[in-house]
Amino acid sequence: MKRLLILAAFALCSCGNSFVFEPSSVADAPEGEVLRVEPPCWWTGMKTSLQLMIYGPGIGNAESVQLRGLDGVSIGHTTKGDSPNYIFADVTIGPKATPGDGWLVFTLADGSVFKYPYSIGEKAAGQRESFTTADMIYLIFPDRFANGDASNDSTPDTKEKACRTSIHGRHGGDIQGIIDHLDYISELGATAIWCTPLLTDDQPRGSYHGYACGDYYAIDPRMGSNALYKEMVDRCHDKGLKVIMDVVTNHCGTDHWWMKDLPFKDWIHVFPEYTGTNVAFSTNMDPNASAYDLNLQESGWFVPSMPDMNLDNPFVLKYFQQWAVWWVEYSGLDGFRVDTYPYNEKWPMSLWCKAVREEYPWINIVGECWTFSHPQLAYWQAGAPNPDGFNSNLPSIMDFPLREAIVSAISEGGDNPGWLMGTQRIYDCLSHDFLYKDLSHMMTFFANHDHGRMGDAFGHDAAKMKLALALLATVRGIPQLYNGDEMMFSRLPGQDDGDGAKRIDFPGGWEGDAVNLFSPQGRTAARGQYASAAELHDYTARLFNWRRGKSVLHNGKTMHFVTRDNTYAFFRYDYTDAVFVFINNSGSPKAVPWSHYAEIVPASVNATNVITGRPAVLSEDLTVPPFTAYIAEFSR
């Protein structure tokens, strides 16, 4: 009788072709009946169509799903998953739709009716500028950066608890710790931050890195909350910092909530037994590659704890397209970095990039395409003239070949390097620039969270570190600096060179730390492996604060000159300005062969030494000390 009364009241609200929904006419969903609705909210004025993934016990058996209480918003087609606990609902949001709080109304096969809240907001007006060559991106590894809120180091709803003494454990760094040190980041000369993933990673071990996602719509509670992430973005914008979100479309974690009950049997790639990827990126463009090898590259799992997503399933692709758009609109972030980009199925990922940029034409997306092959890297950039006609729609790529060249070259410092060794590596690497579609969309770097610390790579030599910093600040592209490399971080005594050592804590980020490298006093007082911290920090800040206002570095051309004595000279120039860089990677003073540069500078010029700020004369009389970068700017 009660059910009949509810249905009668529901019907009385209908009048002709119009429908005025009275929420009190339908009962709320019983607890546990609807477990998830994703995306959790949406907006009017979006170009991206909305497809809800609704999860709850037996919800796929619903006779109908309607969206009530919002003018101009309705549900059209619905699709049941392979699991009876999912239903996918396509939502139409008309051009005159009214934002507000509505209700998903479910009618089950037994005649019962219940409702679940769903909100539609209004899309933010205007557009922002994403990251460009005018920026310096500061890469933060959140768990190891700073602990701003010790109360969330361990939470009852997550499996792995904090253990700072374990190199592979969670150390407690969080979003509040990032917020607390935004002034440090800005004063260093950074204009954007890229945080490795902050979303929930609920693996029982090794979850500190965040790359095994357990919930794509939730910030990990040990990092903070969705609201705090949004606050971080706002605080960054107040300080002139852009925010780049690190996203993973290729894989999730084995402890993602859907792994116990997949929506479709082919939601992830499934094999009779564990099958890892062959990491053969060349199969994507190799005309001789077998379909077998290509499939293994795309479909094999990254590691046993990271199931490989099947982006060829249109519901999976749609899920990830909406998810990216949702985070931009919800939080106001400014760009994306896509992890393990070539491991994804390339055609669906092209559609992913296209969808995100159709919604936000201004946004920049950079992909991690870890290859040292110039042609294979160039293949992944949007608009590349690929023989197979493939267009990734991915604007930016990470310049791994240049990274390898810089680190190898500086590590080979000294007199008489071997053929094509030392600084010749950098010259040779940049000579391949003709392969790239857009040099202004190359992310340049000499390390990130997957590389050994620079202090170890350079033998704790501050002079070598300065050479790397000078190159990063002056070569073409968008520079990215990994947190701590401004002070030549190295692994702690006794540590091996595993992932945990690459992600050591930032001294001063935890209460009670004996060393505080966030403060000038702490840097000056530092000893041992941090003895050069103050000198290197100030050198970095000088370079990148100067770089902020240098259009010639953001937009200028490059001309470089080959030598065989472990030096490297190049100019960044435009019609009005020039920057001259001379890298002496040898163990001897080197006279600058100024007459060799006559095609760009026909005579000696008055300039300014960028590091000292003092006047300088660029001529044949200039000599650069060993293991030194000389940088000067002048008007043309």
φ/ψ of 111, rounded to 5, equals 95, -10
- Going by the DSSP 8-state scheme, the letter that residue 88 receives in this structure is E
- Residue 72 is which amino acid? G
DSSP line for 5-31: HHHHHHHHTEETTEE---GGGSPBPPT
- Establish whether 187 is a catalytic residue: no
Whole-angstrom Cα distance, residue 263 to residue 199? 21
Other C-beta atoms within 10 Å of 143: how many? 29
Q: Are 608 and 616 in contact (CB under 8 A)?
A: yes
How far from chain centre, in Å, is Cα 634? 35
Beta strands in 322-476 (DSSP E): 335-338, 364-367, 396-398, 442-444
Q: Which residues pair with 139 in a beta bridge?
A: 194, 482
Helical H segments across 145-209, by residue range? 175-180, 182-187
β-strand pairing of 36-38 with 50-55: antiparallel
**Selected catalytic residue, list 160, 368, 456, 505:** 368
Judged by DSSP in three states, 43 sits in strand
User: 484: which 2 tokens?
Assistant: 């701590």
- Going by the DSSP 8-state scheme, the letter that residue 170 receives in this structure is B
Which of 401, 527, 526, 421 minimizes the C-alpha distance to 475?
A: 401
Whole-angstrom Cα distance, residue 222 to residue 201? 10
**Selected catalytic residue, list 153, 246, 329, 339:** 339
- Residue 134 is which amino acid? A
Evaluate the CA torsion angle 387, 389, 392, 394 in order and state its sign.
positive
**For the chain, first and last CA: distance in Å?**
89
Q: Cα torsion at 594, 597, 601, 607 (round to 10°)? A: -40
* Burial state string for 458-477 with b = 16 or more CB within 10 A and e = fewer than 16: beebbbbbbbbbbbbbbbbb
DSSP line for 70-83: STTEEEEEEEE-SS
- Residue 60 is which amino acid? G
Whole-angstrom Cα distance, residue 327 to residue 348? 20
User: 595: which 2 tokens?
Assistant: 């007459």
Whole-angstrom Cα distance, residue 272 to residue 335? 38
Which of 289, 290, 288, 312 minimizes the C-alpha distance to 299?
A: 312
Whole-angstrom Cα distance, residue 447 to residue 262? 37
Q: Are 515 and 522 in contact (CB under 8 A)?
A: yes
- Residue 193 is which amino acid? I
- Establish whether 339 is a catalytic residue: yes
Whole-angstrom Cα distance, residue 49 to residue 318? 9
Whole-angstrom Cα distance, residue 165 to residue 174? 17
How far from chain centre, in Å, is Cα 522? 30
Q: How far is CA 365 from each of CA 132, 210, 357, 462, rounded to the nearest angstrom?
A: 10, 19, 9, 33
Other C-beta atoms within 10 Å of 574: how many? 15
Catalytic residues: 339, 368
